[in-house]
A and B are shown apart, each in its own frame.
Chain A
Protein backbone atom coordinates (compact mmCIF):
# COMPACT_ATOMS: atom_id res chain seq x y z
CA UNK A 1 0.00 0.00 0.00
CA UNK A 2 1.10 3.54 -0.70
CA UNK A 3 1.99 5.66 2.31
CA UNK A 4 3.94 8.70 3.42
CA UNK A 5 5.51 9.47 6.76
CA UNK A 6 6.38 12.84 8.22
CA UNK A 7 8.60 11.97 11.17
CA UNK A 8 8.48 15.38 12.86
CA UNK A 9 5.32 16.81 14.41
CA UNK A 10 6.93 20.24 14.63
CA UNK A 11 9.98 21.99 13.24
CA UNK A 12 11.31 25.18 14.80
CA UNK A 13 13.68 27.47 12.93
CA UNK A 14 14.89 31.03 13.29
CA UNK A 15 14.02 33.54 10.61
CA UNK A 16 16.72 33.72 7.98
CA UNK A 17 17.98 30.19 8.62
CA UNK A 18 17.48 27.33 6.17
CA UNK A 19 14.58 24.99 6.85
CA UNK A 20 13.91 21.35 6.07
CA UNK A 21 10.64 19.47 6.52
CA UNK A 22 11.07 15.74 6.13
CA UNK A 23 8.98 13.23 4.23
CA UNK A 24 9.57 9.58 3.41
CA UNK A 25 7.37 7.45 1.21
CA UNK A 26 6.51 3.87 0.44
CA UNK A 27 5.06 3.09 -2.98
CA UNK A 28 4.98 0.35 -5.53
CA UNK A 29 6.07 1.63 -8.89
CA UNK A 30 7.07 5.19 -9.67
CA UNK A 31 6.30 7.70 -6.93
CA UNK A 32 4.35 10.85 -7.66
CA UNK A 33 4.88 13.18 -4.70
CA UNK A 34 3.34 16.45 -3.58
CA UNK A 35 3.78 19.11 -0.92
CA UNK A 36 0.88 21.22 0.33
CA UNK A 37 0.79 24.01 2.91
CA UNK A 38 -2.08 24.95 5.20
CA UNK A 39 -2.22 28.36 6.84
CA UNK A 40 -4.43 28.81 9.93
CA UNK A 41 -8.15 28.44 9.19
CA UNK A 42 -7.51 27.97 5.49
CA UNK A 43 -7.63 25.13 2.99
CA UNK A 44 -4.54 23.40 1.63
CA UNK A 45 -2.50 25.16 -1.02
CA UNK A 46 -0.34 23.35 -3.56
CA UNK A 47 3.41 24.04 -3.26
CA UNK A 48 5.12 21.65 -5.64
CA UNK A 49 5.14 18.16 -7.08
CA UNK A 50 7.55 15.55 -8.39
CA UNK A 51 6.46 13.42 -11.32
CA UNK A 52 9.66 12.65 -13.17
CA UNK A 53 12.88 14.31 -14.30
CA UNK A 54 15.12 16.55 -12.22
CA UNK A 55 15.39 15.43 -8.60
CA UNK A 56 15.27 19.03 -7.37
CA UNK A 57 11.80 20.48 -7.79
CA UNK A 58 11.14 24.19 -7.38
CA UNK A 59 7.78 25.43 -6.18
CA UNK A 60 5.86 28.39 -4.85
CA UNK A 61 7.08 30.95 -2.28
CA UNK A 62 10.76 29.97 -2.71
CA UNK A 63 10.29 26.37 -1.59
CA UNK A 64 11.98 23.42 -3.22
CA UNK A 65 12.04 19.69 -2.61
CA UNK A 66 14.63 17.04 -3.27
CA UNK A 67 13.55 13.62 -4.49
CA UNK A 68 15.91 10.86 -3.33
CA UNK A 69 15.00 7.45 -4.69
CA UNK A 70 17.59 5.46 -2.72
CA UNK A 71 16.43 6.96 0.58
CA UNK A 72 12.74 7.06 -0.48
CA UNK A 73 12.59 10.66 0.68
CA UNK A 74 11.09 13.90 -0.58
CA UNK A 75 12.21 16.59 1.86
CA UNK A 76 10.91 20.15 1.57
CA UNK A 77 13.52 22.91 1.83
CA UNK A 78 13.91 26.66 1.78
CA UNK A 79 17.25 28.49 1.97
CA UNK A 80 16.03 31.33 4.19
CA UNK A 81 12.92 30.99 6.35
CA UNK A 82 10.39 33.77 6.87
CA UNK A 83 8.03 34.22 9.81
CA UNK A 84 5.20 34.08 7.27
CA UNK A 85 6.24 30.50 6.37
CA UNK A 86 4.84 29.35 9.71
CA UNK A 87 2.10 26.88 8.81
CA UNK A 88 1.19 23.20 8.63
CA UNK A 89 2.91 21.29 5.82
CA UNK A 90 1.64 18.07 4.27
CA UNK A 91 3.47 15.59 2.10
CA UNK A 92 1.30 13.42 -0.15
CA UNK A 93 1.76 10.54 -2.57
CA UNK A 94 -0.48 9.72 -5.46
CA UNK A 95 -2.25 6.40 -5.20
CA UNK A 96 -3.72 4.93 -8.34
CA UNK A 97 -6.11 2.08 -7.68
CA UNK A 98 -9.37 0.95 -9.16
CA UNK A 99 -8.75 3.25 -12.09
CA UNK A 100 -8.80 6.35 -9.90
CA UNK A 101 -6.24 8.93 -8.88
CA UNK A 102 -6.16 9.67 -5.13
CA UNK A 103 -3.79 11.42 -2.75
CA UNK A 104 -2.52 9.76 0.43
CA UNK A 105 -1.46 12.42 2.95
CA UNK A 106 1.05 12.34 5.77
CA UNK A 107 0.01 13.49 9.23
CA UNK A 108 1.51 16.93 8.71
CA UNK A 109 4.42 18.90 10.20
CA UNK A 110 3.91 22.21 11.90
CA UNK A 111 6.62 24.71 10.98
CA UNK A 112 7.27 27.55 13.41
CA UNK A 113 9.62 30.30 12.28
CA UNK A 114 10.74 32.57 15.10
CA UNK A 115 11.85 36.19 14.58
Chain B
Protein backbone atom coordinates (compact mmCIF):
# COMPACT_ATOMS: atom_id res chain seq x y z
CA UNK B 1 0.00 0.00 0.00
CA UNK B 2 1.91 3.04 -1.29
CA UNK B 3 -0.42 5.75 0.07
CA UNK B 4 0.14 9.04 -1.76
CA UNK B 5 2.82 9.14 -4.43
CA UNK B 6 4.21 12.15 -6.30
CA UNK B 7 6.39 12.55 -9.35
CA UNK B 8 8.90 13.93 -9.96
CA UNK B 9 10.81 14.32 -6.67
CA UNK B 10 12.93 17.18 -8.00
CA UNK B 11 12.62 19.53 -10.97
CA UNK B 12 14.48 22.56 -12.24
CA UNK B 13 12.73 24.80 -14.76
CA UNK B 14 13.58 27.98 -16.58
CA UNK B 15 11.22 30.94 -16.37
CA UNK B 16 8.37 30.48 -18.83
CA UNK B 17 8.60 26.71 -19.10
CA UNK B 18 5.64 24.53 -18.28
CA UNK B 19 5.35 21.29 -16.38
CA UNK B 20 2.87 19.00 -14.68
CA UNK B 21 3.26 17.54 -11.22
CA UNK B 22 1.61 14.17 -10.83
CA UNK B 23 -0.09 12.79 -7.73
CA UNK B 24 -1.83 9.47 -7.15
CA UNK B 25 -3.38 7.81 -4.11
CA UNK B 26 -4.35 4.20 -3.63
CA UNK B 27 -6.53 4.61 -0.52
CA UNK B 28 -9.80 5.17 -2.41
CA UNK B 29 -10.02 8.66 -0.94
CA UNK B 30 -12.58 11.13 -2.20
CA UNK B 31 -10.76 14.40 -1.57
CA UNK B 32 -7.36 15.48 -2.85
CA UNK B 33 -5.30 18.62 -2.29
CA UNK B 34 -2.27 20.49 -3.58
CA UNK B 35 -0.19 22.59 -1.17
CA UNK B 36 3.00 24.57 -1.46
CA UNK B 37 5.46 24.88 1.40
CA UNK B 38 7.68 27.93 1.74
CA UNK B 39 10.06 28.69 4.62
CA UNK B 40 8.32 30.37 7.55
CA UNK B 41 4.90 30.16 5.93
CA UNK B 42 3.71 26.66 6.66
CA UNK B 43 1.65 25.00 3.96
CA UNK B 44 -0.72 26.96 1.77
CA UNK B 45 -3.51 25.38 -0.19
CA UNK B 46 -3.32 25.87 -3.96
CA UNK B 47 -6.27 23.82 -5.22
CA UNK B 48 -8.39 21.00 -3.95
CA UNK B 49 -10.81 18.46 -5.28
CA UNK B 50 -13.63 17.30 -3.03
CA UNK B 51 -14.60 14.50 -5.36
CA UNK B 52 -13.90 13.11 -8.80
CA UNK B 53 -14.83 15.67 -11.42
CA UNK B 54 -14.73 18.72 -9.16
CA UNK B 55 -11.95 21.18 -8.39
CA UNK B 56 -11.84 24.45 -6.47
CA UNK B 57 -9.35 27.20 -5.76
CA UNK B 58 -7.53 27.42 -2.46
CA UNK B 59 -5.56 30.31 -0.98
CA UNK B 60 -2.92 30.71 -3.70
CA UNK B 61 -4.25 29.44 -7.06
CA UNK B 62 -2.73 32.04 -9.39
CA UNK B 63 -0.36 30.57 -11.95
CA UNK B 64 -1.62 27.01 -11.49
CA UNK B 65 -4.19 24.70 -12.98
CA UNK B 66 -5.34 21.28 -11.84
CA UNK B 67 -7.01 18.21 -13.23
CA UNK B 68 -8.77 15.49 -11.28
CA UNK B 69 -8.24 12.81 -13.87
CA UNK B 70 -10.08 10.11 -11.94
CA UNK B 71 -10.57 9.19 -8.31
CA UNK B 72 -6.91 8.21 -7.91
CA UNK B 73 -5.08 10.99 -9.71
CA UNK B 74 -4.84 14.76 -9.23
CA UNK B 75 -2.31 16.72 -11.28
CA UNK B 76 -1.00 20.26 -10.89
CA UNK B 77 0.13 22.22 -13.93
CA UNK B 78 2.33 25.28 -14.16
CA UNK B 79 1.68 26.82 -17.58
CA UNK B 80 4.45 29.42 -17.47
CA UNK B 81 6.74 28.97 -14.50
CA UNK B 82 7.99 31.98 -12.53
CA UNK B 83 10.75 32.21 -9.90
CA UNK B 84 8.05 32.93 -7.29
CA UNK B 85 6.83 29.37 -7.83
CA UNK B 86 10.06 27.93 -6.48
CA UNK B 87 8.79 25.84 -3.60
CA UNK B 88 8.14 22.37 -2.28
CA UNK B 89 4.80 21.01 -3.48
CA UNK B 90 2.79 18.47 -1.53
CA UNK B 91 -0.19 16.48 -2.58
CA UNK B 92 -2.58 15.12 0.04
CA UNK B 93 -5.74 13.08 0.18
CA UNK B 94 -8.50 12.41 2.67
CA UNK B 95 -11.27 9.89 2.86
CA UNK B 96 -14.38 11.91 3.46
CA UNK B 97 -16.25 14.05 0.97
CA UNK B 98 -16.83 17.72 1.51
CA UNK B 99 -17.68 18.91 4.97
CA UNK B 100 -16.32 16.05 7.01
CA UNK B 101 -13.60 16.30 9.63
CA UNK B 102 -10.97 13.83 8.69
CA UNK B 103 -7.24 13.30 8.44
CA UNK B 104 -5.21 14.26 5.41
CA UNK B 105 -2.41 11.99 4.19
CA UNK B 106 0.54 13.56 2.43
CA UNK B 107 2.87 12.53 -0.35
CA UNK B 108 6.67 12.91 -0.12
CA UNK B 109 6.74 16.21 -2.01
CA UNK B 110 8.23 17.67 -5.19
CA UNK B 111 11.03 20.20 -4.85
CA UNK B 112 10.72 22.69 -7.72
CA UNK B 113 13.25 25.37 -8.59
CA UNK B 114 12.47 27.99 -11.23
CA UNK B 115 15.49 29.88 -12.52
Contacts and interface: CB of A to CB of B under 8 A. Distances in A.
A45 interface: yes
A102 B92 CA distance: 11
B66 interface: no
Nearest to A105: B42
Nearest to A6: B42
SS class of chain B's interface: helix, strand, loop or mixed? loop
SS class of chain A's interface: helix, strand, loop or mixed? strand
Given A46-B105, A101-B99, A101-B100, A108 B42 contact: yes
Interface footprint category on A? 20 to 34
Contact of B42 (A41, A98, A102, A106): A106
B8 interface: no
Interface in A28-67: 32, 34, 36, 41-46, 49, 51
A94 B98 CA distance: 12
Contacts of A105: 42-44
18 contacts: A42-B109, A43-B4, A43-B108, A43-B109, A44-B90, A46-B103, A46-B104, A49-B101, A94-B101, A96-B99, A100-B48, A100-B98, A101-B94, A101-B99, A101-B100, A105-B42, A106-B42, A107-B40
